A and B are shown apart, each in its own frame.
Chain A
Amino acid sequence: MAFTFSGGLDLQKPSKAFNGSITAYLTPKQTVIDFSGDKTAGFYPLVSPGETVLAYQQVGERMFGEDKIPVYGGVCGSVTEIIQNSDGQPTGVRITADGERKIADVSGYEGPLSGLSPEKIVEIVKNAAVPCRGSHVFAYKKLLANTGKAKRFILNFCESEPGVSSRKALSAEDLDGVLNGAKLLMKALDIRRCVIGIERESRDLLAEIAEKVKNNTLFEIRKVKQKYPQDEETALIYALNGTLLSDADAPEGSGCAVFDAETAAAVYRAVAFGVPYCERVVTVEGKNVLCPIGTPVAELLEFCGVSREKAVKLISGGPLRGKSFRKADDPVTAQTDAITVIYENDGVPIPEMTVCSRCGRCVSVCPARIIPYRAAELAKQKKYSKSAEYGTAACCECGCCDYVCPAYIPIKKLIRTAKRRLSEIKKNENKEPAAETTAKEAETENVFDAETEKITETEPEITAEPAETAAEPVDAAEITGETGADGQKEANEPDENGEIPADEPEDPAENGGETEEKTAENEDEDENEEKQTV
């Protein structure tokens, strides 16, 4: 029997053997560690141009919330540049390697690992800057958040996307490390039970794990179905624990602590050998390569023998959850588990977006069990708080909805925007209004303000519908003004008994959203052009 969750996509046919071997590419010509994409955290370099650095040496610090996290360099060479953003703030370092591999003096915890205290483990994990892939936070933060709450430890061996095999490759290579790391993490959380979630289709690895944990009562193997996105926390917790996460509780609320195999392996390496997190396994076109974080994509592709002559898009991650690289010399980051290349002749331009016909396909595949089409529709109209009622916060951004949408609506993108804007608005309400609005966001600012007001009105009660409708005409008038679809209002009138009050101004708003969406799309296309010329 296999455990699974509701929804999701059956994308990969089972029993696809993966190429388990990992090729090491530890001496790239240069590495770029750059946090310019992250506006929330500052970077403070500890090295200056011209300085020689060794692999595993700390090159800087970055702020993560209130904490300072060290940043390590993965290669040995000299610092050639401190990268700065347009405001003159340092955002990263560029290290030109000298082709050798000299490793800084690192040492693991001396003495038996069983003697480690939970606090010490958290400290080591924090100092080694071990991230969690799934949740985009550092492992220590997750440990702290789960301490005392989690009753069950879930070790995730499921692959993140079809075609990506870095997690399995690493697990197959370093299974002892993964299991020991899991033990350390469990010790830090004071949990005595570990559920191993692994796809039943990956038989080799399954057999290996079963052999390893045969007489160990600490571990329990649970096979899950191979389905996308089984590795997502929401889906995994539902499959293995039967708990459906609501948007009001973070994964901690379910009493499950989910850690990925590679996180566990990195924790073990950090504790036992003192190796900081600065290398990772990346799947490049079916091949798994171990490379330092910061390796330029172009170099990695070259090493793997993948030509990018006819490539139209390079994606960091798989095709469903990945982000496209802007330039070919963008670096591999801690989140890059794969590099996917879309070539000219296998990428078709996305057909023009049509009107949502409420076919409900997105609802049926959604692993978070929200109503994606409603949330996206409202997000398009910039009604972010209303959109949240349809579960934007529970959305795990797996992209299943986009995959199945017959109208080709970028649902994931819209929901993500709604999520971000809502958290920004909430932040502004709580703290000083210190939001850095970029040029793109500035044009929507006035709508934004109206939105903020609306939220304060509707905040206390979910049933405060009249306030909502009272605030609505502002929106509607604004948008109809833009598009000038006069016949529309009249056309929508009979809809009023459609019960869902936000229904009326939909179409004009949609038109407004559509044009904006299109410009955004064009911008992306421009980026694309840029990349091609690089």
Chain B
Amino acid sequence: MKKNKLFKRDLTPVKRGSGGVFLSGSCSVAGIMLHVIAALLPVIIWAVYLFGARVLMVIAVSVASCVASETLLTLIIYKKPRISDLTSVVSGVMLAMTLPAATPLWIPLIGGVTAMGIKHLSGGPGRNFLNPALFARTVIMLAFGKLMIYTAPFEKLPLFASVSPELASETAMSALNAGKFPTESVFELLYGRCAGNIGEISALLIIIGGAFLMFRRIISYKIPASFLLTVAVITYAFPRIDIDSSFAVYTVLSGGVLFAALFMATDHTTSPCTTLGQIAYGIGCGGLTVLLRYSGLFYDGAYPAVLIMNELARPIDALAFRITSPVRSRKKKKTAETAETEGGAAK
């Protein structure tokens, strides 16, 4: 049979009813989520290499908790489970990424329930205005912050049992916060041989993952770029401790700044979608991050900063749309005429 020449690989024709569009070039929501998981895979593999199989344990508990509580919640709210689109899996992975490998395993369990709870109570899939993983992490930090232990790389961690506090090691970020020069070199932070949360060890792998998502047009470069630039510019201009000019570099590479900028702030549901809105959102995230790091209670400012900006995402979008959109005030009353000539006179 003669094959239609028009339809190529990325042009999938669809049998849609009249009035629709007969081409679709998009993967599904589940496809997008698979992309995100794929982008995180190198990061996870590196973490497993550094901290052992306990990393997988943390991720597994977190994902299982998210999927189970989402199933339960959707059963209660919609009378049927709606978990097919992998969003809960991604939330679980994201949550685990923001926890250290030595976390007691019941913490991601609670985190998963919290994440799905906030997701469904703040509007349900696609409408939650808070990033579930970030919210859960912030709750965990507030409630169990003292139980979080950061261990040095290649420390032997038990698979199930809790890790003794004696193994605790300092992260580059906590050193910076204490006004000390981090023990790691910039290069070590870049390729990732340092203590920290599972998802924020190797800056390079995080950047590669983010670049992959940008290349596949899953996320836009605008939020990460404006976020990181803001952090870099402020910390360069006003360094908190005077370690030549590398304070800015250390701030961007240490802690969760990169991970938050590339994976957390770009979450579709909780970030703006207009160009101007995205840039404003990124700047807001960056500014808040520095503020929280300099004088906040949490020295890991990136996650709370994004969480705070989450609430502002929709107002920012609305404002940005009002500024840039072609839609002017309805006072003009011309709209009726336009609609008439466009819609009514269709031949």
Binding site for B on A (CB under 8 A): 9, 11, 38, 40, 64-65, 131, 135-137, 162-163, 244-250, 285-286, 306-307, 310, 312-313, 315, 319-324, 326, 333-335, 340-343, 345-351, 354-361, 363-364, 368-371, 373, 388-391, 393-394, 399, 402-408, 410, 412-413, 416, 419-420, 422-423, 426-427, 430, 459, 461-462, 485, 487-488, 491-492, 494-495, 497-500, 503, 506-507, 520-521, 523-525, 527-528
Contacts and interface: CB of A to CB of B under 8 A. Distances in A.
A354 B32 CA distance: 13
B89 to A, nearest CB: 14
Contact of B127 (A313, A393, A495): A495
Nearest to A390: B327
Given A131-B347, A286-B6, A370-B325, 13 more contacts: A11-B11, A11-B25, A246-B327, A340-B6, A341-B4, A346-B3, A354-B28, A359-B269, A363-B273, A402-B20, A405-B26, A416-B343, A461-B331
18 contacts: A250-B337, A250-B341, A319-B11, A324-B17, A349-B14, A354-B28, A357-B32, A360-B274, A361-B26, A363-B274, A388-B330, A402-B20, A404-B25, A404-B26, A426-B336, A426-B340, A520-B17, A524-B19
Contacts of A416: 19, 343
A412 B23 CA distance: 12
Contact of A286 (B5, B28, B274): B5
Contacts of A351: 28
B125 A355 contact: yes
Interface stretch (B107-115, B144-152, B311-319): B311-319
A346 B22 CA distance: 11
B21 A399 contact: yes
Contacts, number: 282
B163 to A, nearest CB: 36
B339 A423 contact: yes
B22 A342 contact: yes
B167 interface: no
Contacts of B126: 355-358, 407
Contact of A245 (B1, B2, B326, B337): B326
A520 B16 CA distance: 11
B42 to A, nearest CB: 23
B296 interface: no
A343 B17 CA distance: 15
B142 interface: no
B19 A345 contact: no
B186 interface: no
Interface stretch (B116-124, B254-262, B283-291): B116-124
Contact of B18 (A355, A358, A527): A527
Contact of B13 (A348, A402, A500): A348
B314 A498 contact: yes
Nearest to B77: A487
B212 interface: no
A427 B344 contact: yes
B85 interface: yes
B347 A498 contact: no
B342 A393 contact: yes
B123 A495 contact: yes
A403 B347 contact: no
A369 B15 contact: no
Given A358-B268, A420-B343, A345 B16 contact: no
Contacts of B25: 9, 11, 403-404
Contacts of B217: 361
Given A348-B12, A406-B26, A491-B121, A357 B268 contact: yes
Residue of B7, B14, B77, B321 with most partner-chain A CB within 10 A: B14
Please list the 8 inter-chain residue pairs (A to B) with the smallest Cβ-Cβ separation, ordered nearest first: A524-B17, A360-B273, A402-B21, A399-B21, A163-B6, A423-B339, A359-B268, A246-B326
A24 B268 CA distance: 51
A358 B269 contact: yes
Interface string B269-281: 1011111000000
B23 A406 contact: no
A494 B122 contact: yes
Contacts of B311: 497
Residue of B21, B78, B346 with most partner-chain A CB within 10 A: B21
